Chain A
Amino acid sequence: QKEVEQNSGPLSVPEGAIASLNCTYSDRVSQSFFWYRQYSGKSPELIMSIYSNGDKEDGRFTAQLNKASQYVSLLIRDSQPSDSATYLCALNAGGTSYGKLTFGQGTILTVHP
């Protein structure tokens, strides 16, 4: 089982809809979680971080974390064509590997007008 799993998509949503991106992870002791957006040919851009169970909102973005279910998600409200990108879920498992982020393979999101 991969450490961080994401549906590769593509996920296609109409403009104005809610896009829901999901991520599961295998290491129960993972401590911190991040969502990155990556446009084609560009480097990853940090969108959200979340560390405790529940929801965290920032503008149109809401991150949700459920450590019992080993699940983290990102909701994008009022999706815009400019949100079309690959979304990467990442986690820091702490312990001896506390220096690194482990990334999922990413979900491609397409928002069509």
Chain B
Amino acid sequence: GAGVSQSPSNKVTEKGKDVELRCDPISGHTALYWYRQSLGQGLEFLIYFQGNSAPDKSGLPSDRFSAERTGGSVSTLTIQRTQQEDSAVYLCASSLGGPLLAGQFFGPGTRLTVL
């Protein structure tokens, strides 16, 4: 079946602009996660959704970052007033069931470049 999909695959923006990144999880997966990966920082957790609610937002680096999920499916990560340090690959993952026992399956990522 279809895996996790993300769009756009690449995004180049100017400092100070807002960006929206989209994630479509695997059909039937109730849990959805956002991570980012940058050189020297490894994979960094951002936020976890169970259904439409986000019980763990502990990884969001600042209040410029927000995310929502609607219909228990698609999620959007929004970064306001982008900064150069926001440049990274943003990865979405989903899992069937809760995060403790279910492996997370990653999408291809969105490469964000802030000029």
List the A residue with the shortest CB-CB distance to B54: A99
Q: By CB atoms of chain B within 10 A, which of A31, A45, A97, A106 has the most?
A: A97
Digit string of A68-99 for contact with B (CB within 8 Å is 1, else 0)? 00000000000000000000101010101111
Contact across chains for B106 and A44 when beta carbons are under 8 A apart:
yes
Given contacts A46-B105, A100-B48, contact A31 B100 (CB under 8 A): yes
Judged by a CB distance under 8 angstroms, whether B65 is at the interface is: no
Within 8 A of B (CB), among A99-113: 99-106
Inter-chain CA distance A105–B55, complex, in Å, is 26
Contact across chains for A101 and B45 when beta carbons are under 8 A apart:
yes
22 A-B contact pairs sorted by A residue (CB < 8 Å): A31-B100, A34-B103, A44-B91, A45-B106, A46-B103, A46-B105, A90-B43, A92-B100, A94-B100, A97-B56, A98-B56, A99-B33, A99-B45, A99-B47, A99-B50, A99-B58, A100-B48, A101-B33, A101-B35, A101-B104, A102-B45, A106-B42
Instruction: List the interface of chain B (C-beta within 8 A of A).
Output: 31, 33, 35, 42-43, 45, 47-48, 50, 55-56, 58-59, 89, 91, 98-101, 103-109
Instruction: List the interface of chain A (C-beta within 8 A of B).
Output: 31-32, 34, 36, 42-46, 49, 51, 88, 90, 92, 94, 96-106
